[in-house]
Each structure stands twice: as structure tokens, then as C-alpha cells.
Structure 1
């Protein structure tokens, strides 16, 4: 029987005005330090910086963010995403660069892995994702997508085989991959980071190549992502997302489509489910209450699967 993963959550949040449209069109810089403790990291110090600015004759603000975390166990996270509109929004440049030396839980590959069966491994990696697109018509952009990653060994990878159904976890001892391909985006959202209305659609096809364990890798990856936002009375926004990812070929473990984390299937650990294909949908209602306090209720449904027979429920 097919297993579908569902989350329904309610949360209060405090807005720091990040992503809100600025009628003055002046650059905005915000910095936020934080700290936390977990058994895997011990004491961790974090810093977050956000820059928002308008290019000439652009209706929407561009932004760049920096997130850095350093732990007592000498672990490191650096995350630098950007979303840039050039003058007149003629070009749209989005992407992310990251550096990671951090522990992560391994549950195996597939949709039916168990929560109680897990191992913690540590890895080092650096990667970049970028979409460089030119405007075709209003809100429609076409261009090239570029992805690349270098990853060291997933240590201790000898214990990962005790969980995985396969003896060959592609990329477990490290890999180098890069991908290139066409990408199309329709983006009519009013505010990029915190939309109140508009539509977002991405269709990207990447042709990837690389090397792992002295073996050449080739695979393709298709990304489809649709989001719709509606502004309702009384400071309320309702939105939904439908997303699918599909890979064909020799895909390293950490390049597989992934469910879990703050963006896709909130409430599940990032990387909780990985496999060659993914389908996912979520909906959210958020409401501004007073001052910078708001509330959000959201739910999601999704699954990963190995082949196309599975999603048709013939397995």
C-alpha cells in the first residue's frame, strides 16, 4: 500500500518586516544574531543578515541574504541565497551558494523508511545553484540553469549500509557533479520573499554529469513548481503550492529529490524522505494580528517514489 505523508500545523510568528515592500525604495539592511544548543552540535552561534534594494525602474525589490552558523563541535553552515532583478526587471537572477560541514540524519532511501531507524553522519560540501533568465514578456523569463556541488565522504558511511536496502549508496565516499539546462519562470508575485498575491511557476530541466567512487555519473533532473497567492480582507493571505521533481540516471544520494525541512513538508526533518521522484502539495493561511505578530496554519501532502509505477499505485 502506498504511504502518503501529511502534515497539518499551526504556528505563531513574529515578523521582522523582511520581504515587505518599501515605498521609499531605499536599501534595507537587517542583522540578527541567535544561539541554540543540540546534542549533535552542542553550543551553536548563528548570524543572519538581509539586504533588500531596488534596481533602476524595477517594480519589485531584489534581495540577498547571509546565514552563518558555527558550533562548539567545529561544525559550519554558510548559506547565501539571492534574488536579483536588473534595471527594468529585464533580467532575473536567482540562486544560492553554500558551504556545509554539519551532521545530518540518514534514514535510507524511499518512501517507507522508519523514523526509529536512523544514523547520524557528517559531511563536507560546497555547492551553487543559479538561474539566469531574460524577460520574454511581462513576468515571463527564460534562460539557463546551472547547478554544481562538491561533496566529501559521508562519515561514517560504513554504518549507513545497515539502514539502506542497497549496498551501493551513490556518492557516499564523495562526488563532484555539475548540471546545465533550460529554465522558464513566470513570476507575478508582488513581494518575492513574502507574497500577498500573484503566481509563480518554474520549469527547469538540468543535464548533469560528474564523478563518484572513480565512476562517471550522468543523470537528468526535471523541476516543476507552481504557487498561487490570494490577498483576502482583514490582512489575510491564502496560498498553495504544487511541486514535482523527477530524476533519471545515476543520482548521488544528496542530489535526490527530498521531502522535509522548512520549504517542503514542514514538520518533517530535512532529508527525511529521498528517492528518484517526488510529488508534493501544500496550502497555507496566514494572518497579521497586531504589531509584528501573525499566525499561520498550513498543511501538506507528499511522497517520494522510485519509479513511475509507484506513483500510479500499481506497487
Structure 2
């Protein structure tokens, strides 16, 4: 890991730690003896605005990292004592080491302040791993055999992404997004050394971009919505500002809808997302499928091209208890989710015929904090599958 990665870790801590520290100045809950059980205490502490941390240690399996052993947690807090439950900020994070020698660090933040007038969504990733590159286009991803001499290489990658938006009217937001990232590819296989995109863009690629964001968001809770919709449109221009070396643009359109299908906690959710790049984006920044947040089960980055489109339909079901708990409630902390989806990559959106990739999966949900779930998903793709451990829903 080079010194620039360490500088960005330091920048990330400088960005989020002041917010975390400020959140500690909240009213303390009553003595534990007042509450009948641990679950009552847990809910009472959150309702009174106390910060909470839920740790986890778990194995997982993905096609790109094989068996991954991760440790991390979910940290939540609020700066709004009048509405501490529904506007709680969340920072899930994890650090993992895998059976193929990979290292991964991920931090994802959803922060709310000024009575939900200001929102901040941030991500920070580091991956140091043996990886595979099939080339650009659906045909390469589908037909090229995975092997050390055809797809294998080593990748060191980090990314810092931050989006800050302001609510100027009920449910309407505008703001800015910043994206800084770098990829270092080494130990290339013979096919990669002759790949036209590698020859054009190189193996050490630094990008920096800044752009605008428009959002309509009527969801009742962003990280686990029961109802409402989201329309997010962003356009980022990459160039020499902030140390970038490549000039290109990226347009993303993300539509999500949520509908409660019963008075209980049972929700039908769907998402359609499109991404397209302009002006010869480098091979590392082309639209990709297979992350833990879209077509779960595919190798992340196997399918890449100038444009990407996918759709997901997911049913989420939280169980009911047969008998009330000590609080007199029938709501269980366990549940499940099942989804199906379809995605494609290509040069243009209007030419995706014959390039579609199906996806199905099922997952377990455990409510570790009110409306905050531990997510365990198993997804299936074409000749591919993956098991994910994470916090909050995929979308």
C-alpha cells in the first residue's frame, strides 16, 4: 500500500471522526435495572439517542476473493434528539483477509444532519488482491476461460467517494459528488499485455472527478425502506483537478421503489439502474456488474463495458413471533429476502440484445438495531455464485 492510500485513510478519519465525536453528547438512558431484558435496553438506548456499535466476525465467499474472513461492525448515532430513531446515521465497515491472499477494507457511511436537510453518503475501499480481467465486452466476459495465463493479474486499488446533498424542498435534493481512485495492475498475463485497452490506458491509473447530483427521495428510511421511492441522477466529470490523469465523464441513473405488501414488515422492492461512460473512460472505470449491491453472485468486474443496465425485484419478509416477548411485541428480529434480476453490459443501451445476465438469490436478515439488519445473501449467476455478509440492504 503506497503513501497516498495512507493519506486517504487519514482523510477519511478526519472527515468522519468529528461527526462521531459530536454524536456522543446525548442523553444517557435510565439504569439497566429499569428495563426487563437486554432487548428492552437496546431499544430504549437508541430511542433516547445513544450511539450504538454492533460488531461482527464472519466468513464469506465471493468468486473474486474466494473464502474471506471478515471482522467489522455497524456504528449508528444521531445528532437529532427530537427524532433519534428514524434519522440515525450509520457507518458499517469491515476488514477482511481471504484464502487467496486478498486484503479488503471497506467503509460505507450514511450521515444525516440539520434535521435531515443535509445528507452525506460516503465510501472508502482498499483492495490488494490477485484478480482477473477478461477484457471489455460481454463476449470476453462470457467466453474467455479464467486462468492465470488468460485473465490473471494482481490489483492494488483504492477509492474514496463522497456525496453531499441538500434538501431544498420536501423530498427534493441537490448536491455534489467527488470520486478519487487509483488502480495499480501488475504481474499481467500475456493476453493482458496485448489488450488494446491496457495498451491505451496503462497499468497505473489515477482518476479524480467532481459532479452534480439530483435526487428525489420519499423513502421512509434510506437504509431499509418500507415505502416510497428514490430517483438519483449524477453526472461526474473526471479530469486533472485533484490529481487525476484521465479525462472522461460518467452518467448514472438509479431508480428504486418500495411497497409494503401487508401491515406487517413485508416489502416488495425493485430497482433499475443505468450507467454509461463517455470520452473513452479507462478500462478500470468502465461500467461493471457483479458487486454486492447489484447482481449478487457474479465475479465483480468480469462483465464491463461503456454502458450497463440492470433490474432487480426483491421480496423482504420479517417473521412474527408466535407468542409476545417481554415487551408484549410479536415482531421477530429474524427474516429473509429473495430476489431475481437481469443485467447487461454493452457499448450502447440500445444494443443489449443477447447480452443479458440472469440473477437469483436468497438471504437471511437479522435486525441488530431497529430497522438496521445484518445481511447474509447467497446469489447465483451464470456459472458463478457468492455468499455475502454485510449490514443494511443491497438497495
TM-score computed with the length of structure 2 as normaliser: 0.66
Specify the SS of the correspondent of 1:253.
coil
Q: Is the 8 A contact 2:226 2:265 kept in 1?
A: no
Q: Is the 8 A contact 1:125 1:151 kept in 2?
A: yes
Query: Partner of 1:16 in structure 2?
Result: none
Paired with 2:287 and 2:135, the residues of 1 have a C-alpha distance of: 13
Paired with 1:70 and 1:298, the residues of 2 have a C-alpha distance of: 28
> Is 1:48 the equivalent of 2:72?
yes
1:37 positional shift = 7.7
> Is 1:110 the equivalent of 2:137?
yes
Query: Partner of 1:120 in structure 2?
Result: 152
Higher relative contact order (CA 8 A, sep 6+): 1
Q: Is the 8 A contact 2:197 2:283 kept in 1?
A: no
> Is 1:93 the equivalent of 2:120?
yes
Paired with 1:39 and 1:232, the residues of 2 have a C-alpha distance of: 34
Structure-2 change in CA distance of 1:38 and 1:188 (3 Å): closer
1:64 positional shift = 0.8
Higher strand share: 1
Aligned residue among 108, 124, 129 for 2:161: 129
Query: Partner of 2:171 in structure 1?
Result: 139
1:84 positional shift = 0.5
Root-mean-square deviation (Å):
2.9
Query: Partner of 1:236 in structure 2?
Result: 266
1:134 positional shift = 1.4
Paired with 2:266 and 2:239, the residues of 1 have a C-alpha distance of: 45
Specify the SS of the correspondent of 1:136.
strand
Aligned residue among 183, 189, 205 for 2:235: 205
Structure-2 change in CA distance of 1:276 and 1:169 (3 Å): farther
Q: Is the 8 A contact 1:239 1:285 kept in 2?
A: yes
Query: Partner of 2:336 in structure 1?
Result: 295
Paired with 1:173 and 1:134, the residues of 2 have a C-alpha distance of: 38
Q: Which moved more, 1:85-94 or 1:42-51?
A: 42-51
Q: Is the 8 A contact 1:123 1:154 kept in 2?
A: yes
Structure-2 change in CA distance of 1:306 and 1:54 (3 Å): same
Counterparts of residues 48-87 of structure 1 (less than 5 Å): 48-56=72-80, 57=82, 59-71=86-98, 74-87=101-114
Q: Is the 8 A contact 2:63 2:298 kept in 1?
A: no
Aligned residue among 265, 290, 306 for 1:260: 290
> Is 1:222 the equivalent of 2:228?
no
Task: Give the aligned length.
Answer: 289
Consecutive unaligned residues in structure 2, runs of 5 or more: 1-42, 321-331, 355-395
Query: Partner of 2:207 in structure 1?
Result: 177
Paired with 1:37 and 1:310, the residues of 2 have a C-alpha distance of: 33
Aligned residue among 16, 30, 33 for 2:54: 30
Q: Is the 8 A contact 1:217 1:250 kept in 2?
A: no
Q: Is the 8 A contact 2:308 2:349 kept in 1?
A: no
Consecutive unaligned residues in structure 1, runs of 5 or more: 1-19
1:117 positional shift = 1.8
Specify the SS of the correspondent of 2:185.
coil
Q: Which whole-Å deviations, capped at 9, do the CAs of 1:4-27 have from their partners, x for residues lacking one?
A: xxxxxxxxxxxxxxxx99544432
